[in-house]
Amino acid sequence: MLSSSDFASASWELVVRVDHPNEEEQKDITLRVSGDLHIGGVMLKLVEQINIAQDWSDFALWWEQKHCWLLKTHWTLDKCGVQADAKLLFTPQHKMLRLRLPNVKTVRLRVSFSAVVFKAVSDICKTLNIRRSEELSLLKPPGDYFKKKKKKDKNNKEPIIEDILNLESSPIISGPPVSPGLYSKTMTPTYDPVNGTPASSTMTWFSDSPLTEQNCNILAFSQPPQSPEALADMYQSRSLVDKAKLNAGWLDSSRSLMEQGIQEDEQLLLRFKYYTFFDLNPKYDAVRINQLYEQARWAIVLEEIDCTEEEMLIFAALQYHISKLSSSAEIQDFTNESEVDEVEAALSNLEVTLEGAKADNTLEDITDIPQLADNLKLFRPKKLILKAFKQYWFVFKDTSIAYFKNKELEQGEPVEKLNLRGCEVVPDVNVAGRKFGIKLLIPVADGMNEVYLRCDHENQYAQWMAACILASKGKTMADSSYQPEVLNILSFLRMKNRNSTSPVTSSLENMDINPECFVSPRCAKKHKSKQLAARILEAHQNVSQMSLVEAKLRFIQAWQSLPEFGLTYYLVRFKGSKKDDILGVSYNRLIRIDAATGIPITTWRFTNMKQWNVNWEIRQVAIEFDQNVSIAFTCLSADCKVVHEYIGGYIFLSTRSKDQNETLDEDLFHKLTGGQE
């Protein structure tokens, strides 16, 4: 039998601070505990001692010194290592957070501070009706990011709160996300519980979402364009090194918000982090398509991504068109745009195939890989030599280009054979100047081999460009995506092809919106307002027939076709190098870029990657590729975990397939991005 003094020596006092939502200040409560008491028992004792009747189910213990949650309620204090000096906080797991969305709107909602960020983002996206949450993440911007905005707001009488969409009552509860009846895996529209009518499929994709139809409109429709003054206030010319610093703020997906020092009601950015947009469907993705369009729009208007002036005008014309359609009251619902039932569509497709007609997606004969052969001009940049293009006979076969002095020599030895697998393909086009060029950066042992090709006309360019893009990914022209790629390039060129004979002047007076709202401040400075308006309206002639969702998708597509699209930059120091370089991470490759000139030096494809890991002691990422190529670098502008997660995240996203339905293998994500093993 234990005497009472023995028992007293085995027990000790534990001080727990209680974060009570209704009280102004936190209270300390002292409990007498022993090492074999489990966490659940501590919480039970606490609630008994507080003696206030309320729902405590969301509360959990946070250990301040160790910076971790004690969520395993069956573990004892001894097993957790909790002793008398531990500072514990009894606090709600769900707290308010302000999120700036891609459309620069801020939503305030309740988010789990104890779940890992990957799961928290998934819950946020369910609330906001955004599918494919794995493509997004939370970014903590540098300290001065939100300050400019506030300075400007001081002149306005309205408080900043005006711009916040408050979803405070949002029922984001950890555990099973939604009961099976509410979240339909086959994406069939749910029914309104009040009046029994079918809910519109885009608006209530998750029917437990606190978004009312009106709120959803705010997220699914684009905002009116910002004034030129507001744009000028937000605009800063950024070097590659500056862009690299911005990317340091991505939160670690494998740790919770609380573990990463995020405070209650702090403001973070919710952004598309990975640039592979899987299964964009106008029927279910109204909010997702709009937020993607907005992220693309800001990237272009604030020159976060480079584009030519000609491209800037097309983007401006599409924005003008979208803002015109968005402000007209006729468009109430995206779903009207594609009301064809999916089953019907599949049946009609099957009918066409059975009748033996030529279906859209004809499969090529597998044994016969198509090839291109034509006269093109070639130029290799050398120092002190002016650009001189020379004509050769080119043959494109499989994933390589061979060229000969003329057609008659085709059966002999080529002048040179270029293997395009893993190369960079950059458009070099000016439609108005009838210039259709392709710039190829081909990886070789000591860097990049630069080759310029020049085509004679649009059709030739579209065919060769599409073949180069596919070959760079290791695909041939037999791939089913070849023809759509050709058509995509042609339609983009036609948008650029300004129809100067069209009567633009008459509509100039009717142009109701300031043209400087649609282009970057730097571009606006170069042109007079009237001249800019005329050029935007000229470009608008080519897109004026598009529906709203079609125009947004075309904008996203055009953004994707820019040479720098999808590159996220980090400042790194490669092993053995004496100077800093920029590392560009894309969905399928890594690029080493000269920090001073911005010129790519070497490209490595993920498809050739054998393994990658982190040496946590020296914070160095090491990657092995085929053919005994290995690289190692330390990150200077961010933690190496951020870069490691980017690489693993892209590899994880490449494993998605249509038949997965909507489920995600979260364990695989953490395995590929964790870097702990």
The pLDDT of residue 162 is 44
Over residues 426-434, the mean pLDDT reads 86
Residues 6+ apart with CB under 8 A from 383: none
Over residues 177-182, the mean pLDDT reads 34
Q: Is residue 552 part of a domain?
A: no
Higher pLDDT, 354 or 322: 322
Spatial separation of the C-alpha atoms in residues 570 and 581, rounded to whole Å? 8
Whose CA is closest to 458, among 487, 480, 499? 487
609: helix, strand or coil = strand
Q: Is residue 557 part of a domain?
A: no
The pLDDT of residue 339 is 44
Residue that finishes a domain, picked among 26, 60, 92: 92
β-bridge mates for residue 251, sequence order: none
Q: Is residue 597 part of a domain?
A: yes
Confidence of residue 258 (pLDDT cuts 50, 70, 90): very high
| The pairing of beta strand 59-63 with beta strand 106-112 | unpaired
Identity of residue 125:
C
Sheet hosting strand 629-635, strand order edge to edge:
600-605, 589-594, 581-585, 568-574, 629-635, 620-625, 609-615
Question: What is the token pair recorded at 347?
Answer: 């049946």
Spatial separation of the C-alpha atoms in residues 514 and 494, rounded to whole Å? 25
pLDDT at 345 over 50: yes
Q: Are 409 and 450 members of one domain?
A: yes
pLDDT at 444 over 70: yes
The pLDDT of residue 53 is 85
13-28, pLDDT tens digit by residue?
999 999 877 777 778 9
Q: In the 3-class helix/strand/coil scheme, how is 134-175 assigned residue by residue?
A: HHEEEECCCCCCCHHHHHHHHHCCCCHHHHEEEECCCCCCCC
pLDDT at 8 over 70: no
Residue that finishes a domain, picked among 459, 477, 495: 477
Over residues 625-643, the mean pLDDT reads 91
| Cβ atoms of 192 and 199 closer than 8 Å | yes
pLDDT at 426 over 80: yes
501-555, pLDDT tens digit by residue?
444 444 555 556 688 899 999 899 888 888 899 999 988 988 888 999 999 999 9
Q: Is residue 39 part of a domain?
A: yes
Q: Are 120 and 222 members of one domain?
A: yes
| Cβ atoms of 643 and 585 closer than 8 Å | yes
Residues 6+ apart with CB under 8 A from 316: 515, 518, 519, 536, 539
The pLDDT of residue 236 is 80
For residue 263, count CB atoms less than 10 angstroms from its CB and return exposed for 0-12, middle for 13-18, buried for 19 or more.
exposed
65-83, pLDDT tens digit by residue?
999 999 999 999 999 999 9
What backbone phi and psi angles, to 5 degrees, belong to 646? -60, -45
Distances (CA, A) of 299 to 273, 283, 307, 599: 13, 26, 10, 21
Q: Are 76 and 200 members of one domain?
A: no
Q: Is residue 519 part of a domain?
A: no
Q: Is residue 5 part of a domain?
A: no
Q: Is residue 378 part of a domain?
A: yes
Whose CA is closest to 440, among 459, 455, 420? 420
Question: Taking CA 294 as the corner, what is the angle to CA 543 and CA 169, rounded to the nearest 5 degrees?
Answer: 135
Residue that finishes a domain, picked among 61, 92, 123: 92
Residues 6+ apart with CB under 8 A from 656: 278
Region of 324 on the Ramachandran plot (φ > 0 left; ψ -120 to 50 alpha; else beta): alpha
Q: List, in sequence order, every beta strand (DSSP E) within 323-434.
A: 372-379, 390-397, 400-404, 416-419, 424-430
Over residues 412-417, the mean pLDDT reads 90
Q: Is the dihedral of CA 524, 527, 531, 537 positive or negative?
A: negative
Question: What is the token pair recorded at 494?
Answer: 């036609």
Question: What is the token pair recorded at 393?
Answer: 């006979």
Enclosing domain of residue 638: 567-674
Higher pLDDT, 546 or 499: 546
Over residues 134-143, the mean pLDDT reads 91
Q: Is the pTM of this model over 0.85?
A: no
The pLDDT of residue 10 is 78
Q: Are 417 and 310 members of one domain?
A: no
What backbone phi and psi angles, to 5 degrees, belong to 203? -70, -45
Question: What is the token pair recorded at 421?
Answer: 């697998």
Over residues 617-635, the mean pLDDT reads 91
- Counts of helices then strands in the chain (DSSP H, E): 19, 24
| The pairing of beta strand 390-397 with beta strand 447-455 | unpaired
β-bridge mates for residue 583, sequence order: 570, 592
356-403, pLDDT tens digit by residue?
443 344 343 445 678 899 999 988 876 555 667 889 999 999 899 999
Q: Are 110 and 23 members of one domain?
A: no
Whose CA is closest to 136, among 298, 251, 280? 251
> What does DSSP assign to residue 253?
T
Q: What is the CATH number of the domain that holds 578?
A: 2.30.29.30
Best mean pLDDT range from 2-11, 210-219, 600-609: 600-609
Over residues 427-455, the mean pLDDT reads 85
* Torsion angle (degrees, nearest 10) of CA 273, 277, 279, 280: 100
End-to-end CA distance of the chain: 48
The pLDDT of residue 202 is 43
Whose CA is closest to 303, among 532, 497, 562? 562
pLDDT at 492 over 50: yes
Q: Are 199 and 252 members of one domain?
A: yes
Q: Are 82 and 221 members of one domain?
A: no
Q: What is the CATH number of the domain that holds 55?
A: 3.10.20.90
| Cβ atoms of 251 and 138 closer than 8 Å | yes
Q: Are 102 and 211 members of one domain?
A: yes
Spatial separation of the C-alpha atoms in residues 295 and 288, rounded to whole Å? 11
| Cβ atoms of 442 and 423 closer than 8 Å | yes
Percent of all residues in the chain with a pLDDT value above 90, rounded to a whole number = 43
Q: Is residue 624 part of a domain?
A: yes
Question: What is the token pair recorded at 185?
Answer: 């895996």
Spatial separation of the C-alpha atoms in residues 665 and 648, rounded to whole Å? 14
| Cβ atoms of 557 and 492 closer than 8 Å | yes
Q: Are 384 and 261 members of one domain?
A: no
Region of 149 on the Ramachandran plot (φ > 0 left; ψ -120 to 50 alpha; else beta): alpha
Confidence of residue 174 (pLDDT cuts 50, 70, 90): very low
Instruction: Indicate the helix (H) or strand (E) that contains 480.
Output: none
pLDDT at 599 over 80: yes
Higher pLDDT, 582 or 611: 582
The pLDDT of residue 245 is 87
For residue 298, count CB atoms less than 10 angstroms from its CB and return exposed for 0-12, middle for 13-18, buried for 19 or more.
middle
Question: What is the token pair recorded at 253?
Answer: 């997906």
Higher pLDDT, 292 or 310: 292
The pLDDT of residue 593 is 94
Cβ neighbours around 206 below 10 Å, total: 20
Spatial separation of the C-alpha atoms in residues 447 and 596, rounded to whole Å? 16
Q: Are 267 and 376 members of one domain?
A: no
Over residues 214-227, the mean pLDDT reads 76
Q: Are 108 and 88 members of one domain?
A: no
What backbone phi and psi angles, to 5 degrees, belong to 218? -60, -40
Number of compact structural domains in the chain: 4
Q: Are 576 and 661 members of one domain?
A: yes
Spatial separation of the C-alpha atoms in residues 432 and 494, rounded to whole Å? 11
pLDDT at 456 over 60: yes
* Average pLDDT across the chain, whole number: 81
CB burial readout 472-494, b (16+ within 10 A) else e: bbbbbbbeeebbebbebbbebbe
Whose CA is closest to 625, among 603, 645, 605, 641? 605
